Amino acid sequence: MKFSVSGFLLIMCLLCFAVNAEARREKVIVVVDAGHGGQDPGAKGRHSKEKDVNLAISKKFDKVVRKNSKDIKVVMIRRKDEYISLADRAGFANFVNANLFISIHSNASEQNPNAYGTEVYVHRQSSANSERLARIIANKLRTHARRNDKGVKKANFQVLRESTMPCALVEVGFISNRAEEDFISSKNGVRLIAESIYLAVAEYVYGYEPSEIKRSGKDKRMARKG
C-alpha cells in the first residue's frame, strides 16, 4: 500500500515536470499594434507623423525582444505604412490567440501644447491582468525611459474592447509638445521606449525584470551616451 502511494506521487511529480517543460517550450505571443497608418496619419507634430513614430517604436520593440528573449514572440499588426481597420487589428490578435496585445500610439493636445508624458490605457471593463500589464508598462517608461508618468487610465477604445486577451494601449508621449516630439521621433527615444515595453512584457511574463538588456553595438554606444 505504501509503495503504491509513493509510486503514485512519483508519477504525479514526473507528470508535473513534463507538463511544465511543455509549457515552457510554448512561446508567449505578443501582438504589437502600431497605431494608424496609410491614409490615417494619426496626430501630426512639427516634423513627424504619429503613424511613423508608432511604427518605428513597434519595429524596435520586435528587434529588442528578438535579441533578448527566446520565449516571447512578437507578431506585428503592420510592418509598413498601410491602413488597417480597428476591427481587423483586434480580430487578428484574437485569431492568432495572442497572450498579450499592446497598441502603440502617440498623444496630442490641441488645448495645451506644453502637455507631455505617457499614458497607458486599459478598457473600462478590463481584466486585472490588463491593469497589471498597463501598470508595469507605465513604471518602465518612467524608470527606464525617464518619461513623465501621467498614469494608467480607462477608456472605451475599440482595439481594447474587442481584444480578448490582456491588453493595453500606450500613448508614448505628446507629438504636440516640441521637446517630446523630438524625443519620441529620435533613434534614442525610440530605443528607450521600445526597451521599456520589452522590460515590462518580460516582467509581466516572468514575474521579475531581466537583469540586463542585450543590445547591438550601435545601441550600446547610444545607451552609453544616455
Residue 55's closest CA among 4, 103, 98? Answer: 103
Query: How do beta strands 167-174 and 100-107 pair?
Result: parallel
- Residue identified by cell 553595438 is 217
Is residue 105 part of the contact set for Zn ion (CB under 5 A)? yes
Residue 74's closest CA among 113, 42, 32? Answer: 32
Which residue in the set 37, 42, 45, 189 belongs to the binding site for Zn ion (CB under 5 A)? Answer: 42
Asked if 92 and 29 count as a contact pair (C-beta separation under 8 A), the reply is no
Q: What is the dihedral of CA 104, 149, 158, 36, to 10 degrees?
A: -30
x/- letters, 46..85, toward Zn ion (CB under 5 A): ----------------------------------------
Binding region for Zn ion (CB under 5 A) out of 37-45, 95-103, 120-128, 181-189: 37-45
CB of 206 to Zn ion, least distance (A): 30
How far is 97 from 95, CA to CA, in rounded Å? 5
Residue number with the smallest Cβ distance to Zn ion: 105
Whichever of 41 and 91 has its CB closer to Zn ion, that residue is 41
CB of 201 to Zn ion, least distance (A): 20
- Residue identified by cell 513604471 is 139
Whichever of 119 and 219 has its CB closer to Zn ion, that residue is 119
Is residue 144 part of the contact set for Zn ion (CB under 5 A)? no
- Residue identified by cell 499614458 is 119
Which residues in 7-36 contact Zn ion (CB under 5 A)?
Answer: 35
Is residue 45 part of the contact set for Zn ion (CB under 5 A)? no
Whichever of 55 and 165 has its CB closer to Zn ion, that residue is 55
Asked if 107 and 44 count as a contact pair (C-beta separation under 8 A), the reply is no
Residues that bind Zn ion (CB under 5 A): 35, 42, 105
